[in-house]
């Protein structure tokens, strides 16, 4: 897991024929498209004419991300690689290109980690129960259909695991009724791709927990990742302008780092392969801040410190990072510090900050005031030993 925890921040890309519609990735299901109409309206027009995965990789690097995860197929079942299992694929219709191969090559060439998102759902497959008129079917019509479908999806995964070089993450999504034979296929994946990480959406063995649109840390001892949209949709949506700003993204990163988790942030390129400008601008701004405030994110440890009213505290090694969101003056009282503080300084630029310590209370004085950074002002406390809190009660009572 070391590279995963080192990265703490990655990009997920929802891109497929639905991007043509510009109404999110559930269009086939929500708007009850037949496969025929979906093909003529969207798949044939999914031509990817400006697809340049190197530009995606470049942006991910500028943003400070360590890995990229591409929807090799979403719930519409359309494959972005040259599969032998169906003609419903990008090498046959629309783009006439193996989009997965170009993606994997570009990510590896850029020195980042390659992730494949794979939805097991398949709204148009004859053996997928309820086809596309149901959200998540809960049972198979019969055992023979189940076996055929499981064989179908496992064959597709096997292709992805054997034809595209080293794959670093298999990112499952899209429930299908159980049993999915997940343990058998995951065991096989581990043999085909030693070192690959698998999320927990198709049973054990898996390597990390995944939560969606919420920061829900996995219990201590478990690695985890929260996937988040940048607006309110995963796939490109022409009418969705509800962008999170750089400040919101950084707060999510800080919040997640407090519990040693990762953020997998979504982008939804247009059907030609271009990342919407607002996404580009936000990611660049986040990257700029991370470059000015380096070191706290990669490999952050679980923070023992509880809540306060001014910001968040992340920890790493013998450093405590005070991320101040709501400053109220040049002085900050930080309680519950169980270590002797050796040094205090601003992360951005390294200017020392005066402090005094009385037992577990540290009083910082002479903080730059007013705080100029609208995102956060981060102060580093270098301490003796591993950061510890003196507070024994970390939760508080809320009346029912």
Q: Given the rule CB under 6 A, which residues bind ligand GLC?
A: 25-26, 173, 212, 227, 234
For ligand GLC, the closer CB: 39 or 119: 119
Based on its alpha-carbon atoms, the radius of gyration of the chain, rounded to whole angstroms, reads 23
For ligand GLC, the closer CB: 197 or 364: 197
For ligand GLC, the closer CB: 30 or 340: 30
For ligand GLC, the closer CB: 256 or 303: 256
Q: How far is the CB of 209 from ligand GLC (least distance, A)?
A: 13
d(CA 18, CA 186): 28
Q: How far is the CB of 141 from ligand GLC (least distance, A)?
A: 23
What are the strands, taking DSSP E only, across 269-376? 311-316, 319-324, 332-334, 341-346, 354-358, 361-365
For ligand GLC, the closer CB: 25 or 122: 25
Q: How far is the CB of 212 from ligand GLC (least distance, A)?
A: 5
For residue 267, the cross-strand partners are 13
Q: How far is the CB of 227 from ligand GLC (least distance, A)?
A: 5
d(CA 89, CA 78): 5
Structure tokens that stand for 244 in this block: 């999170």
Q: How far is the CB of 355 from ligand GLC (least distance, A)?
A: 43
For ligand GLC, the closer CB: 30 or 331: 30
The secondary structure of residue 286, as a DSSP letter, is H
Q: How far is the CB of 26 from ligand GLC (least distance, A)?
A: 6
Question: Nearest Cα to 112, choosing from 145, 159, 84, 70?
Answer: 70
Q: Label the pairing between strands 319-324 and 377-383.
A: antiparallel
- Phi, psi of 397, deg, nearest 5: -80, 130
d(CA 69, CA 113): 9
d(CA 358, CA 181): 58
């Amino acid at each position: 897991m070391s590279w995963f925890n080192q990265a703490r921040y990655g990009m997920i890309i929802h891109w497929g024929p639905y991007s043509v519609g510009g109404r999110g990735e559930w269009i086939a299901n929500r708007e009850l498209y037949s496969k025929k109409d979906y093909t003529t309206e969207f798949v044939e027009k999914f031509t990817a004419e400006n697809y340049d995965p190197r530009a995606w990789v470049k942006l991910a690097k500028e943003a400070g991300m360590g890995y990229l995860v591409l929807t090799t197929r979403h719930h519409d079942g359309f494959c972005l690689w040259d599969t032998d299992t169906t003609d419903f694929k990008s090498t046959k219709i629309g783009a006439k290109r193996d989009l997965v191969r170009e993606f994997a090559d570009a990510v590896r060439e850029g020195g980042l980690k390659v992730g494949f998102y794979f939805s097991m759902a398949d709204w148009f497959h004859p053996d997928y129960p309820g086809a596309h008129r149901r959200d998540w079917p809960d049972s198979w019509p019969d055992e023979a259909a189940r076996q055929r479908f499981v064989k179908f999806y496992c064959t597709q995964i096997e292709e992805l695991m054997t034809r595209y070089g080293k794959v670093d993450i298999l990112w499952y999504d899209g429930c299908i009724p159980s049993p999915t034979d997940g343990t058998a296929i995951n065991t096989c994946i581990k043999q085909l791709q030693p070192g690959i990480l698998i999320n927990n959406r198709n049973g054990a063995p898996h390597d990390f927990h995944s939560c969606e649109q919420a920061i829900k840390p996995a219990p201590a001892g478990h690695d985890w990742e929260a996937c988040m949209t940048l607006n309110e949709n995963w796939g490109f949506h022409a009418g969705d302008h509800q962008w999170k700003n750089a400040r919101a993204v950084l707060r999510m990163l800080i919040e997640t780092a407090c519990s040693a988790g990762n953020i997998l942030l979504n982008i939804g390129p247009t059907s030609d392969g271009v990342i919407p400008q607002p996404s580009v601008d936000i990611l660049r701004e986040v990257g700029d801040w991370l470059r000015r405030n380096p070191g706290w994110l990669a490999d952050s440890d679980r923070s023992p410190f509880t809540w306060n009213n001014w910001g968040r505290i992340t920890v790493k090694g013998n450093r405590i990072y005070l991320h101040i969101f709501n400053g109220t003056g040049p002085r900050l009282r930080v309680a519950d510090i169980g270590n002797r503080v050796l040094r205090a300084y601003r992360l951005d630029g390294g200017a020392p900050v005066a402090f005094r310590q009385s037992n577990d209370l540290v009083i910082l004085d002479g903080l730059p005031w007013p705080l100029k950074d609208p995102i956060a002002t981060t102060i580093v406390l270098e301490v003796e030993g591993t950061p510890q809190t003196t507070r024994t009660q970390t939760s508080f009572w809320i009346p029912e």
